[in-house]
Structure 1
Amino acid sequence: MQLVDQKKRSSQEELEPVLYAALIDSMCQNFWPMLFGSVCSAVAALLTALKTGNVWLWPCAVLIIGIGTIRAFQMRKYERRTAVLTFEQAKHWEPRYAIGAMIYAGVLGVWCFLTIFGNDDAVAHMVCVAVTIGYTAGGAARNYGSPKLIQYHILLACGPMSLALALHGGFYYVGLAVLLVLFFIGLKGINLSLHAIFVKALTSSFREAALAGQFDTALNNMPHGLCMFRADGRLAVMNHRFSEMMNLSDKLVQRGGSASDIIDACVSAGSISAPSGRMILAEIENTQTRDMITTDPDIARNRSLSWTFQPMAGGGAVVLLEDITERRDAEARISHLARYDELTELPNRVNFRDEIGRLLSIQQGADQLSALLFVDLDQFKQVNDTLGHPCGDQLLCAVAGRMREMLRPEDFVARFGGDEFVVFQQNIRSHEDAAVLARRIVDRLSERYRIDNHLVEIGASVGIAMTTAGVSADTLLKNADMALYRAKADGRGTFCFFREEMAQTVEARRILELDLRKALANEEFELFYQPLVNLKSGRIATCEALLRWNHPVRGTVSPIDIIPVAEDMGLIVDLGRWILRKACMECMKWPEAVSVAVNFSPQQFHQRDVLSEVRYALEVSGLPAHRLEIEITESSLLRNTQITHDVLSQLHSLGVRISLDDFGTGYSSLSYLHNFPLQKVKIDRSFLEGIDTDRPLTLLRGVARLSADLGMSVVVEGIETTEQLELISADGAVTEAQGYLFSRPVPAVRIRQLLNASHGRRAPDDQLIAVSSRSIA
């Protein structure tokens, strides 16, 4: 039953092309057995013909000789082939072999039938039966690659023989026929088993060969070198990558030398040094998991190799080899970039901080004096803006070169970022040594530079902090930074030593910033208002909103102290938004003829949503746009001229009035009056100095007349005396006045009283002034 199942599976199985070709090849390689078998069969046929005298046996003998010889030489032709049998060639050879085999088997069957059935010669019977059975058994062994061919062979050769024995009659002949049938059935089963075993063996062989080929491909294409040694220390496997990296010959690999031979060859090839070779050999013999790195003996090549040793379960070791030169170079480059400035090649902030910390720790307890100089370039931004950043980069490199030239070997210089440099001056005798170096730095860096055919001039400011016992690197840097800030405030192009009061000033500024943030969050501010009086009507036309802060500890803080800090902190936008909304809501409580003026800082004016903020303030307060007056300074007009013009035009289209504040304190460009949509000009109080003389008065009246001729209202600030008021209002060009003569800035409740007094009835100027003076008192 098992043999039948195997036969069914064999007949139904679809053989792979390579397996099919191998089976056909196994059948066709039998020249000498085929020739000797044919000769034996032909001799036996001739003997039976002579012994029996049956003339019909002679043609059988001739056919056996001819067909056998043809088949033998056919196999000879096949064996002389040099190429491996392909699937297409196997399909060509199989039918030729099968047809010859079946014809030959059929001739044998006819010979046996004629020999046994036609006479009673027992010797002839024995000869033909023995030869046919032997040939059939040999064919079954030779043709196991094709079970169907064996079945046809048995049927054609042995079928007529068994039939002749049965027809001859007699107990022994019939018994022999039955036994031969059983023998042939068993022979068929053996053939099927041989076929199944051979197919399985071939399949396993091909799979192992394919797996070995895949392993060999993977082994020789992996980026790492691999070398495997057996337990006896002999080479088992080495891939091409290993031999290439070690510059080994193919003969050495094929010979399969010992680990010592391989390592000696690596040393001889110059791939590793002799000490490295001894260490590697020791690791292979120890068979422990380890890693090591070797450097190339050739300095020009400068190669770094990583060796990994891994023991195997049955003894021996696997060695993995990796070229890590590029990785180590990249790591070194990354480490360098992390600690050095890429542009100037000077140490960076991190490197400087670590080095200064190390040097300070060495100096602890030692009688040594050192100085840290914080250097900042003046006018460097103008170089970037006018000549471009590439020129700015070249300038920084030139500055770094000059800094190196000025310093001693024991001094340490670094670039902190941007246009900031730091110098650590070691082992000095006094503060004077640091001052001398600072002066040299300022003078040397202020000399002209030639950058891309451009002559460039910049300056430098230096802050100096001296080391003290127990001082840390962070404290030293902070102190030098504060000294630099003071040097820049003193006019730039100079140096300044750190003093303790600087730290107190910085701490006071820090506390003020914290309090300012808290005050803004809790709305601790208050608005005061100072009136602007119309000189023709004598009434208050506008009130300027001014910020006040009543600090619980500091008392009243001046806007002069608040606004710069808020601008530096970036709080001026939020603070200005609060002032705008508060002033608009307060103005709604005043007479309709009175407007409110709100100052806009440059930062607030150039925010992207300034137009939306103004619209929102007017909307939530209900204030008509013509009752809002926005005061801007010349600094607001200097930046982004086109954008500024567009914003002012949009505000003007809303109905908001635009006033130019403090005219005369900056550039006082008359083009502002012409190019921007301004409705009012406020002349600064500085014009009132010496107004009782001809020249200042003429200048003030000229500016006022020019502004009036351009269709703008003119306001003079800082009026404190009646004489000043009479002088500025004499020619009628000035339309409004503001100052202590009328009123100081007062809270919202007091300004309402003044507005009621001003607009309750028409009063002469002296009466308004008197009322205002009484309200102040």
Structure 2
Amino acid sequence: MSGLISRLRQLRQSDQAIAASVRATLLESLYASPQSLIIGAITSSGITGIVAYVSGNRWLVVCALAIALVAGIRMIDALKRPGRAARTRSSKNSWAARQEFIYRAGALGYSALLGTFGLLTLVHSDDGVLQLLAVTTTIGYAAGIAGRNAGRPWIALSQLCFASLPLTVGLVVSMQPLKMALAAVIVLFVVAMMDITLQTYGVILKATLVSREKAALAEHHAAVARRDDLTGVANRTAFREQFESRLQALGHGDRRLAIFWIDLDRFKEINDSFGHLAGNALLAGVAKRLDTEFGATGIVARLGGDEFAVICDVVSQTEAVAKGERIIALVEQPVHHDGRALCVGASLGIALAPSDGIDADTLLKNADLALYRAKESGRGQMRFYEPLMDEKIERTRDLGAEMQGALKRGEFHLMFQPIFDLTGQRILSCETLLRWTNRRYGAISPAEFIPIAEENGLIVVIGDWVIREACRTANDWPKDVTVAVNLSPIQLRSTNMPTVIMSALAASGLAADRLELEVTESVLLEDIDASLAALDAINRLDVRTTLDDFGTGYSSLSYLTKFPFQTLKIDRSFITDLEQSPASVAIVQTVIELAAKLGMQTVAEGVETQAQLEQLRRTRCDAVQGFLLAHPMPASMVMTMLAGKDVKASGRS
């Protein structure tokens, strides 16, 4: 008995210590089976009503009516399905406190009435059957309480006492040995049921706590799975879920939903120059600013790499412009890392819902199209989606489909632009230029079809054909004239590139040192180690390599020592300014002198005026190329020029 009292004291302390949310969960267990409560209420009310009616005692009748009334109220309360009122954590806790008071009042009142009814029956009736009905009904109710109400043990134990102890009093006052023995049994029954209730409560409480811990852990894992590890903002999965939720909640009023697709400008330069740790710090800093500014009312996510997205409500396109400008300003603020100020810019593509789409897929596609157009316009730009962008994509898809069989249909052909010595009279080399005349679209600019070929992977097959055709054509030229072929990034790092080159040289009979392969600085920026390995492999075949468009990259001078180039092509942007800009003259002169010291030849491309040519002669450039001397031409015209015809006249024509 002392052990039971000790456990009751511990119960009071532990019950006060449990969290309100756990208490609410335990309280919900009281309503888990409303059917059993209703059945018990109906049967108990029915039996007490029968006993009262048969006995004819007015006290029993009044008590039976009170039992029926309370039973009805409890059945109504059980049928309210209180779980619906507890949908949110804030309402759940307040509901629990209120509902526990209601349930306790009804339960204790009902059990006290049943116990009182049993006592009155024992005192005011001599009918053994009626007494048996009253006692068994009350004891049966008390037994059921131990299991049904174990989630809130004080309610269960209080009902057990309120129902059973009045019976004990009624049996004892009769002073009949058998009834007094039954009273002792009921007392023992109460003690046993208390123990059962406490044990059941312990099991329920432990299961509830374990369940909540698992739920909290699952919730934590779900949150982690939807958060970008590096920046802490939402990742692509969470972004998609939240975006779709915001779209569903978008009403029919004046509010619009704006999606800003953000791409960081010059981010690769940061990674290449200062390392990935600096790049990571920059991404984290940008994400933190965006989240601070827009995270409270909108959605901020990192979609991968250096791409972010921001979703927020706007009233008009003007407000979207203002927020876009704010995003660009936030991104442009320097991020300090390891004593350096890291700076990037941002290009933005903007789509508005519902005008630009009502579903997530359409809006994301349209924002991406707008971002593509913004990046085409230069750094630090933002563009709204326009339906014409879809036409561009449709044309790109059609051209990609047409390209699949273009090589077999013979739609590709080569043009050649000669490269001259400084006199402009002798051809040193010819640059190979790929042209495409499609059966549906006619002549298509290389600026349009080359990116498509790179995207769909056909550039390798087409590029291999260009190398073979260029070698075959150049083999008919004089032995001192070389041929130059441009390589795409995908071609350069293709594992079978050396095999393709050797095969083309063997099939054509062209000497290896008469083939030059040109790459641009942008190609080298994408993967320096892979590019260096590829160029070394090409040079080991005695094939020459040329750095094209020199001066348009980010770290041009470093390439001259890192990569094994034999020729340097000075970008046309410097040549164009030779007549007006002394700075361009100084830069070109410096590059030529530096290249000479490093054992490289120099070619100035984009020569269009006689004044530019004269200036280049003064700088002692090795070779020149441009419309002043010759336009791109078919192989047959190159042969005519090499045969000794008027070079300038042929070129200008």
TM-score for the superposition, normalised by structure 2: 0.58
1:124 matched to which residue of 2? none
Could you list the per-position Cα deviations for residues 263-310 of structure 1 after superposition, in whole angstroms to 9, with x for gaps in the alignment? 8279558699969x99xxxxxxxxxxxxxxxxx9899967349xxxxx
Closer/same/farther in 2, CA of residues 561 and 485 from structure 1, 3 Å limit: closer
- Structure 1 spans left out of the alignment, 5+ residues: 1-256, 279-295, 306-322
Residue 607 in 1 paired to residue 494 in 2?
yes
Could you list the per-position Cα deviations for residues 502-530 of structure 1 after superposition, in whole angstroms to 9, with x for gaps in the alignment? 33334334434444444357553111112
Instruction: Give, in whole Å, the separation in 1 of the partners of 2:447 and 2:295.
Output: 46
* TM superposition shift of 1:454: 7.2
Could you list the per-position Cα deviations for residues 620-647 of structure 1 after superposition, in whole angstroms to 9, with x for gaps in the alignment? 3332212212223344555666765565
Aligned partner (choices 581, 584, 587) of residue 471 of structure 2: 584
Instruction: Give, in whole Å, the separation in 1 of the partners of 2:545 and 2:432.
Output: 15
1:277-676 maps to which residues of 2 (within 5 A)? 303-304=207-208, 328=215, 332-333=219-220, 335-336=222-223, 341=228, 346-363=233-250, 365-378=252-265, 399=286, 401-407=288-294, 411-426=298-313, 428-449=314-335, 457-468=343-354, 471-493=358-380, 495-520=382-407, 522=409, 524-534=411-421, 538-636=425-523, 647-666=534-553, 669=556
Q: Secondary structure at the residue paired with 1:303?
A: helix
Instruction: Give, in whole Å, the separation in 2 of the partners of 1:395 and 1:619.
Output: 50
1:314 matched to which residue of 2? none
Q: What letter is aligned with 1:430?
A: S
Contact map agreement 1:270 1:298 (CA 8 A) in 2 = no
Could you list the per-position Cα deviations for residues 148-168 of structure 1 after superposition, in whole angstroms to 9, with x for gaps in the alignment? xxxxxxxxxxxxxxxxxxxxx
Could you list the per-position Cα deviations for residues 444-499 of structure 1 after superposition, in whole angstroms to 9, with x for gaps in the alignment? 45445566887655554443322236722222222223333344444444543333
* TM superposition shift of 1:335: 4.8
Closer/same/farther in 2, CA of residues 503 and 302 from structure 1, 3 Å limit: farther
Instruction: Give, in whole Å, the separation in 1 of the partners of 2:343 and 2:594.
Output: 40
Instruction: Give, in whole Å, the separation in 2 of the partners of 1:299 and 1:402.
Output: 49
Instruction: Give, in whole Å, the separation in 1 of the partners of 2:581 and 2:212.
Output: 85
Q: Find the structure with the greater CA-based Rg.
A: 1
1:84-95 maps to which residues of 2 (within 5 A)? none
Q: Secondary structure at the residue paired with 2:470?
A: helix
Instruction: Give, in whole Å, the separation in 1 of the partners of 2:451 and 2:419.
Output: 25
Q: Secondary structure at the residue paired with 2:494?
A: coil
Could you list the per-position Cα deviations for residues 681-733 of structure 1 after superposition, in whole angstroms to 9, with x for gaps in the alignment? 444444544656895667656655665566554444344566665665578x4
Could you list the per-position Cα deviations for residues 532-557 of structure 1 after superposition, in whole angstroms to 9, with x for gaps in the alignment? 34567944332221111112343322
Instruction: Give, in whole Å, the separation in 2 of the partners of 1:566 and 1:588.
Output: 27
* TM superposition shift of 1:656: 2.0
Could you list the per-position Cα deviations for residues 211-238 of structure 1 after superposition, in whole angstroms to 9, with x for gaps in the alignment? xxxxxxxxxxxxxxxxxxxxxxxxxxxx
Residue 769 in 1 paired to residue 651 in 2?
no
Contact map agreement 1:272 1:297 (CA 8 A) in 2 = no
Q: What letter is aligned with 1:769?
A: K
Residue 717 in 1 paired to residue 605 in 2?
yes
Contact map agreement 2:233 2:291 (CA 8 A) in 1 = no
2:65 matched to which residue of 1? none
1:18-37 maps to which residues of 2 (within 5 A)? none
1:162-177 maps to which residues of 2 (within 5 A)? none
Contact map agreement 2:254 2:315 (CA 8 A) in 1 = no
* TM superposition shift of 1:565: 3.9
Q: What letter is aligned with 1:752?
A: M
Q: Secondary structure at the residue paired with 2:361?
A: helix
Q: Secondary structure at the residue paired with 2:406?
A: helix
1:319 matched to which residue of 2? none
Q: What letter is aligned with 1:552?
A: R
Contact map agreement 1:464 1:483 (CA 8 A) in 2 = yes
Instruction: Give, in whole Å, the separation in 1 of the partners of 2:261 and 2:155.
Output: 49
Aligned partner (choices 146, 149, 155) of residue 264 of structure 1: 146
Closer/same/farther in 2, CA of residues 304 and 630 from structure 1, 3 Å limit: same
Instruction: Give, in whole Å, the separation in 1 of the partners of 2:425 and 2:596.
Output: 19
Q: Secondary structure at the residue paired with 1:596?
A: strand
Q: Secondary structure at the residue paired with 1:590?
A: coil
Could you list the per-position Cα deviations for residues 13-37 of structure 1 after superposition, in whole angstroms to 9, with x for gaps in the alignment? xxxxxxxxxxxxxxxxxxxxxxxxx
Instruction: Give, in whole Å, the separation in 1 of the partners of 2:367 and 2:422.
Output: 55
Closer/same/farther in 2, CA of residues 576 and 342 from structure 1, 3 Å limit: same
Contact map agreement 1:534 1:540 (CA 8 A) in 2 = yes
Q: What letter is aligned with 1:422?
A: A
Q: Secondary structure at the residue paired with 1:519?
A: coil
Identical-pair percentage: 39
Contact map agreement 1:439 1:494 (CA 8 A) in 2 = no
Q: Secondary structure at the residue paired with 1:466?
A: strand
- Structure 2 spans left out of the alignment, 5+ residues: 1-138, 161-199
Contact map agreement 2:151 2:205 (CA 8 A) in 1 = no
Contact map agreement 2:151 2:201 (CA 8 A) in 1 = no
Q: Secondary structure at the residue paired with 2:626?
A: coil
2:630 matched to which residue of 1? 743
TM-score for the superposition, normalised by structure 1: 0.50
Closer/same/farther in 2, CA of residues 397 and 274 from structure 1, 3 Å limit: farther
Could you list the per-position Cα deviations for residues 560-591 of structure 1 after superposition, in whole angstroms to 9, with x for gaps in the alignment? 33334444555433332221112112223334
Q: Secondary structure at the residue paired with 1:743?
A: coil
1:79-228 maps to which residues of 2 (within 5 A)? none
1:230-269 maps to which residues of 2 (within 5 A)? 264=146
Instruction: Give, in whole Å, the separation in 2 of the partners of 1:299 and 1:454.
Output: 59
Q: What letter is aligned with 1:631?
A: E
Closer/same/farther in 2, CA of residues 700 and 327 from structure 1, 3 Å limit: closer
Instruction: Give, in whole Å, the separation in 1 of the partners of 2:379 and 2:505.
Output: 44
1:13 matched to which residue of 2? none
